[in-house]
């Protein structure tokens, strides 16, 4: 069995502007660090922390691919290879970002042919109800085709963000325990 402290690498993937940095900031525990002076930290690529899920501690190393969208294919391929699990983000207010998530899912499948890499399709910005461009039912159907879990979140309202991380840990444990 894997010792409980063994860290999981979780990668944030998605088009620019969907909320990856906001997710990373919530994870890092500095919900308002965006307004602080050390704004280099806004794009910080890596943070790690221990979280307790179902009474058991897990260590997550979170990798934010914020600069991988700028066309650096090598960087993107690295991220596709090194993750133990993926949060595939789009914005419910931006259909193009939803299509981008589909493309990323297909690319990911090429790098991760094993079907057991946990992936959660995450529709962020669900607080912006009136600007919705992607329906919940469409996204859920898409996630089923993609063989991944699905959730909607609002990083702005801190709604469902931690639940997405807990979901990833639970899936990683299921995989670990079935080995």
**Interacting residue with ligand GDP among 125, 148, 150, 171 (CB under 6 A):** 125
Query: Can you count the helices (H) and strands (E) in the chain?
Result: 5, 6
**Interacting residue with ligand GDP among 117, 124, 151, 171 (CB under 6 A):** 124
**Interacting residue with ligand GDP among 11, 13, 18, 139 (CB under 6 A):** 18
Q: How far is 107 from 104, CA to CA, in rounded Å? A: 5
Q: Enter the tokens of residue 11.
A: 């990668």
Q: Cα 49–55–57 angle (5° rounding)?
A: 25
**Closer residue to ligand GDP (CB): 51 or 128:** 128
**DSSP conformation class of 130:** G
Stretch of 12-20, 49-57, 79-87, 164-172 lying at the interface with ligand GDP (CB under 6 A): 12-20
**Closer residue to ligand GDP (CB): 58 or 87:** 87
CB 69 within 8 A of CB 96: no
Residue 105 lies near ligand GDP (rule: CB under 6 A):
no
**Interacting residue with ligand GDP among 117, 151, 154, 171 (CB under 6 A):** 154
How do beta strands 46-53 and 56-64 pair? Answer: antiparallel
**Interacting residue with ligand GDP among 66, 111, 162, 166 (CB under 6 A):** 66
């Amino acid at each position: 069995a894997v010792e409980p402290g063994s860290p999981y690498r979780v990668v944030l993937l998605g088009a620019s502007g969907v909320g990856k940095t906001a997710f990373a900031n919530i994870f890092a525990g500095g919900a308002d660090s965006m307004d602080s002076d050390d704004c280099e930290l806004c794009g910080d690529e890596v943070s790690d922390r221990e979280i307790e899920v179902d009474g058991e501690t897990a260590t997550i190393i979170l990798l934010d691919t914020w600069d991988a969208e700028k066309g650096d294919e090598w960087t993107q391929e690295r991220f596709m290879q090194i993750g133990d699990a993926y949060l595939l983000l789009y914005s419910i207010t931006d259909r193009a970002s939803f299509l981008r998530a589909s493309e990323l899912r297909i690319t990911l499948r090429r790098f991760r042919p094993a079907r057991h890499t946990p992936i959660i399709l995450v529709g962020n910005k669900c607080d912006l109800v009136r600007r919705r461009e992607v329906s919940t039912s469409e996204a859920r159907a898409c996630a089923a085709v993609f063989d991944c879990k699905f959730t909607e979140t609002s990083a702005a309202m801190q709604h469902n963000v931690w639940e997405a991380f807990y979901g990833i840990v639970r899936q990683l444990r299921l995989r670990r325990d079935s080995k």
